[in-house]
Amino acid sequence: MSDDEMKAFLKRDRRPRVRISVEGYDTSLPKEDINKALVNIFSSCCEIINVRIPIDPETSLVERRAFILLRGDDAEDKALQLNGSDVGGWKVLVQVTPEEDEETLRYATALDDDLMNDRRFWFGVDVRGYDTSLPDDDVKSTLIQHFSSCGDITIVLLGIVDRCAKIYFSQQDAEGKALKLNGSEVGGRKITVRLVATVVNNPPPFAFDSERQMIGYSCPEISGAEGLRQPLMAITKKMKDSVLFLFGLFSLSVLVSQSIAGRVKAPLLQQSNTNGLVFSKSFNSIYDTSLYGRLQLNNGLARTPQMGWNSWNFFACNINETVIKETADALVSSGLADLGYIHVNIDDCWSNLKRDSKGQLVAHPETFPSGIKFLADYIHSKGLKLGIYSDAGVFTCQAYPGSLFHEVDDADIFASWGVDYLKYDNCFNLGIKPIERYPPMRDALNATGRSVFYSLCEWGVDDPALWAKEVGNSWRTTDDINDTWASMTTIADLNNKWASYAGPGGWNDPDMLEVGNGGMTYEEYRGHFSIWALMKAPLLIGCDVRNMTAETFEILSNKEVIAVNQDPLGVQGRKIQVNGVDDCQQVWSGPLSGDRMVVALWNRCSEPATIAASWDMIGLESTLSVSVRDLWQHKDVTDNASVSFEAQVDAHDCHMYILTPQTVSHSAV
């Protein structure tokens, strides 16, 4: 089916839509399982445009009510007939709900408009078992010949890591015909055929809704380690899949361009002898610095974590060039720019709803009428850097054009505009593995000759800390943050897992700051900022800096805490010790340049607590005497602390200190 025929097909499809709500499912089940069950139930009666299963930010569990947007001549009646259906031991309760959710309608509209120049990914199957030793062109031609009887094939994609193929058709019934070829032979080998996703009926695999919660689904994927697992099992039965996966990626390294992916030559941490031993024998085991200085991308950027501002947390899609210009002005006039907040990053929704006649991305004519080049020039005139957003999928998370398969063109246009930073998201990714989708944009950016900070927003789906070190300058390790205590603390814990995989050139990214957005208390925001700084996380402001409160500015402008984040040693601090109910009394610490240590006493309990950090706990020699400086009170607490240090910390508050051996000056802070 040609592009014109595809557009005509869409224009013919103007059947009635209905939005229903569904209750009764087991909320303790994984969201993906619930999504798949709902799709199985309601796809029998009508077309599914969108499935939305909200997540409770306080509990991280799915909420009791899901919303499904359906299309069909009798969609409402057919859906209501399924009320009370028994599925897996639970009965679904179905009722019609008004389409008040504009974002749900955005997705429905996006699937109907003439953006379909790139929407070749309609109805697909996953194929495995063919001879992977053959050249890719031979594999594609063989598969096309084998599956051509099922329907019009729009595209065949071959995986690099798991050696599977994804075959997409333009007709819905082609999937069923293709599934009947499961077990058939191709070149003397039996193949397995499984469903990928029905893109017309559902957003592409791993698509996200307005709250960036998963609404898509895809067939189960075999991990990169699967092919290695059996022969290696005889060697060791205790190796974790992540280790096997990393081993499996070794062969991939020869396929991925390394033109800007050199090795950082920074020295490893060394034990000092400033005044007797500073670090204890347990220091290296506590902080696991064996990977430091060896793994990070070397494109001349990100020697310290990036600092700046991003539009998403406060403005979401309500952005325009005036907001961006005024934000740049505010960063300069407030003094935040002088403290290091130099990146002004535009998030999703900046582009037009479709590419131009040449296939190029263009700024939205109503919200960014002067274009991105104009904004870049303005931002640069302020001594700042401009960041832009795109997606390693066919669409962005808000259903604007994505950059998948357009990497070269989009990198070129970004460079021509003067863009300095790219946040690259993970929505509508067709189920293609991140390790295959993210390197092409790295190579395309490198080919432009412009230094562009490359921020991977992969949500930690495939443990990017294990592979993104040679791909980007930072990588998201978690799902999106929300402006709540529960979300912030959960994300801090998740990011802590990857502390050994960050350093100059590449940083773990637990998402942007929520400080100043109103969902947490002053004490909670202070803890948020302290822990992000200690973890060497990017410090990207997420509030409206044009209208900050004095408390918000106080937190964001704390020079001593910022200095911890920007310390040239570049070792991520981590959670060291927990005590109390639900481990709510916590000690976080990390080494700094000049033989110093940063220590955060974080009280996540609901009442005040005395929290202590012992030298043995944080990796200092037990006989060492240190001075202690309070980074929030901006004063020295003592000049002669030994063995341990403790403080009374209010509920949900965080104290942050620098410990300096007596013969080392504070001036390094």
Active site residues: 425, 480
Please list the residues that pair with 167 across neighbouring strands: 125, 156
3-state DSSP assignment of residue 11? helix
Q: What stretches of 400-508 show up as alpha helix (H) in DSSP?
A: 407-417, 434-437, 439-448, 485-496
Task: Identify which of 13, 20, 9, 15 has the alpha carbon closest to the alpha carbon of residue 73.
Answer: 15
Q: What tokens appear for 4 in the block?
A: 């014109």
Task: Identify which of 395, 446, 207 has the alpha carbon closest to the alpha carbon of residue 403.
Answer: 395
Return d(Cα 352, Cα 355) in angstroms, integer.
7
Inter-CA distances, 590 with 205, 534, 597, 628, Å: 39, 7, 6, 15
Return d(Cα 470, Cα 460) in angstroms, integer.
16
Q: What tokens appear for 378 in the block?
A: 């303005």
On whether the CB atoms of residues 662 and 638 are closer than 8 A, the answer is no
Return d(Cα 414, Cα 113) in angstroms, integer.
25
Task: Identify which of 425, 486, 414, 505 has the alpha carbon closest to the alpha carbon of residue 461.
Answer: 425
Q: Based on DSSP, count helices (H) and strands (E) in the chain, helices before strands.
A: 20, 28
A 10 A CB-CB count for 208 gives 24
Return d(Cα 133, Cα 115) in angstroms, integer.
37
DSSP codes joined into one string, 177-188: HHHTTTT-EETT
Residue whose token pair is 């003439």: 114
On whether the CB atoms of residues 21 and 65 are closer than 8 A, the answer is yes
Return d(Cα 16, Cα 50) in angstroms, integer.
14
Output Rg (C-alpha) for the chain, integer angstroms: 26
Q: Are strands 66-71 and 47-52 parallel, antiparallel or unpaired?
A: antiparallel
On whether the CB atoms of residues 143 and 167 are closer than 8 A, the answer is yes
3-state DSSP assignment of residue 535? coil
Maximal C-alpha separation, the chain: 82
Return d(Cα 365, Cα 388) in angstroms, integer.
16
DSSP 8-state symbol, 124: E
Residue 354's Cα: distance from chain center in Å? Answer: 24
Return d(Cα 361, Cα 400) in angstroms, integer.
10
How large is the angle between the packed helices 226-233 and 241-248, nearest 10 degrees? 110
Element housing 51 (H / E) = strand 47-52
Return d(Cα 216, Cα 35) in angstroms, integer.
8
Element housing 139 (H / E) = helix 136-147
Return d(Cα 529, Cα 550) in angstroms, integer.
15
Q: Are strands 585-592 and 644-649 parallel, antiparallel or unpaired?
A: unpaired
Give buried/exposed letters for 347-377 (b at 16+ CB in 10 A, else e).
bbbbbbbbbeeeeebbbbeebbeeebebbbe
DSSP 8-state symbol, 666: G
